[in-house]
Chain A
Amino acid sequence: MEQLNPRSRSDRYGSRINRAPSPLRATSVPYLTIMAGSFLPALLIADLMPLAPPLGFLMLLGWRIMRPGLLPVWIGAPLGAFDDLISGQPFGSAVLMWSLAMIGLELLEARFPWRGFWQDWFTASFAVTLYLIAAMVTSGAVLSQPLLIAALPQFLTAVLIYPLLARVIAGLDRFRLTRTRRLA
């Protein structure tokens, strides 16, 4: 059989014989990538206006939407606490909002169990827009018209980056489930 098709005994995660996904990788990748997403905007120097989309929150949304049931409902609080430490927001704002987002998505999923990509994108855009507004209110910044106008590019990138992030998360998911462990 192998001579006809070398990949006949493997699927997209690698060989199906004598191989299993690494448990460490399978469980850690979502959390590590969400934390990396929280950390990445802190490395940019944005001196004039909010520049980067909230990557940590978008990664959380992406993993939650694309792999329902993988992240526990309560994970918003610990991951949000990590995000608060480096995002410049007052401590507790992401703990609150990420928890609320996880609960909200859970309720939404009970209502709409079958979804497509466009609906997912809409959900993520809606969630991230609400999140950005709430984050702006809790940040302690003076909410003036110039600030809101200056934040528009951030809103746009946050909405438009979702399809790209969805592909990235799909790739990470494949990496997560790749069969690397030898069984015997």
Chain B
Amino acid sequence: MAPPASRRTGYSRKAQYSVFTGYLLAALGALLGLILLAVSFYQPGAFAPLRGVAGTVAAPAGETTASVRSGSQDIWASINGFWHAGSQNAALREELEIARVRLAEAEAVAAENARLKALLDLSRTEAKPVAVARLVGSSAASARRYAYLAIGADKGLVPGMPVISEKGVIGRVLEVAGRATRVMLLTDSESVLPVRRATDDVVAFAEGRGDGFLRIKLINLGLNPLKVGDLMVTSGAGGYYRPGIAVAVVTELQPDGALARLVAEPSATNFVMIEPVFEPVAVKAAQTPPERTLAEENARTSGATQTDEAAAR
């Protein structure tokens, strides 16, 4: 298609100036973008409030599509179930027998656990979830793996809280706005999670690879003790996640660890729980520079908040 003749300026000063201004503004826009990008790199949270406003506005649409998504999953599940009903029935019956035995065993273990904890005078109640929400969207066109929730600071969410589905870990709260939250999924290439093997104490880090797999990097190198099919659970190190939540299943061994597949895939979940940070003290300690003690850091931050309050008054 030929460009319209109206864009040829000819001798008209007005037309020449408006074309020139257009180019100038475009170049300034690019420059502004460069500056904003630099700011985003050095202060990643600088534009979080803006993003929060956009997320809050976008949330209702996300709620609608999220409910449609879960509905369509149900339809597929029922069609699938129809075809596999007979063989599944037999398999399930067998599984149920085994599960009953295991359940009885687990009850015994739980009772013993309670007894031993009472002996040690340890009383940790199960963490109550801060909130339950739907995943309303994700950064599908970006190389990063974020998901969005339609709740935020109004339900008491703060950055760092673990996001968990009924199957296992989904990710961690990254940014919180009034009614929108950005969650970093485990598959993001910046996500690192301390894990251990469910059956024993083989500790490792689970890093997102960006293609849906997690890299399990063993901390103690040597003979690789992992086997295909091993379940990795959170170890509780780092203080964000409570220990013992399922994370991934090993699918392929590597010299320094393994590749693992997620247990809880965000696209297959309807609702997620947001739990409080497991050990806030540990998180704080990890963020304190080594030359300061935790007590000093506490005094410093409380002093800072006091001066802030004084300044506010």
Q: Which residues of A contact B (CB under 8 A)?
A: 39, 41-55, 66, 68-69, 72-74, 76-78, 80, 82, 84-100, 102-103, 106, 109, 113-115, 135-136, 138-142, 144, 146-147, 149-151, 154
Query: Cβ of A66: which chain B residues have Cβ within 8 Å of it?
Result: 1
Known: A68-B3, A115-B1. A48 touches B187 (CB 8 A): yes
Partner of B137, one of A42, A85, A136: A42
**What are 19 A-B residue pairs whose CB atoms fall within 8 Å in the complex?**
A42-B137, A42-B148, A43-B65, A43-B137, A46-B140, A72-B25, A77-B32, A85-B50, A90-B37, A92-B33, A92-B37, A95-B29, A95-B36, A96-B30, A99-B27, A100-B30, A102-B26, A103-B23, A144-B209
Q: How many residues of B contact A (CB 8 A)?
A: 66
Known: A77-B30, A109-B3. A42 touches B36 (CB 8 A): no
Q: Does B7 reach chain A (CB closer than 8 Å)?
A: yes
Known: A44-B137, A55-B141, A146-B211. A85 touches B51 (CB 8 A): yes
Partner of B62, one of A42, A95, A154: A42
| 9-residue interface stretch from B40-48, B86-94, B287-295 | B40-48
Partner of A141, one of B22, B23, B58, B190: B190
A76 touches B26 (CB 8 A): yes
Q: Does B275 reach chain A (CB closer than 8 Å)?
A: no
Q: Does B236 reach chain A (CB closer than 8 Å)?
A: no
B144 touches A140 (CB 8 A): yes
Query: Cβ of A154: which chain B residues have Cβ within 8 Å of it?
Result: 141
Query: Cβ of A99: which chain B residues have Cβ within 8 Å of it?
Result: 26-27, 29-30, 33
A150 touches B212 (CB 8 A): yes
CB distance from B9 to the nearest CB of A (A): 12
Q: Does B169 reach chain A (CB closer than 8 Å)?
A: no
Q: A44-B140, A68-B7, A99-B30 given. 13 additional CB < 8 A pairs?
A: A42-B62, A42-B140, A42-B148, A45-B69, A48-B265, A50-B140, A66-B1, A77-B28, A80-B29, A88-B182, A92-B35, A109-B3, A154-B141
Partner of B140, one of A41, A106, A115: A41
Q: Smallest CB-CB separation from B22: which chain A residue?
A: A73
Complex Cα distance, B172 from A136, in Å, reads 22
Q: Smallest CB-CB separation from B38: which chain A residue?
A: A92
Question: Which of A42, A78, A144 has the most chain B CB atoms inside 10 A of its CB?
Answer: A42
Query: Cβ of A88: which chain B residues have Cβ within 8 Å of it?
Result: 138-139, 141-142, 144, 146, 182
Complex Cα distance, B145 from A69, in Å, reads 36
A96 touches B37 (CB 8 A): yes
CB distance from A142 to the nearest CB of B (A): 4
Complex Cα distance, B282 from A163, in Å, reads 54
Query: Cβ of A140: which chain B residues have Cβ within 8 Å of it?
Result: 41, 144, 190
Query: Cβ of A43: which chain B residues have Cβ within 8 Å of it?
Result: 61-62, 65, 136-137
Query: Cβ of B61: which chain A residues have Cβ within 8 Å of it?
Result: 39, 43
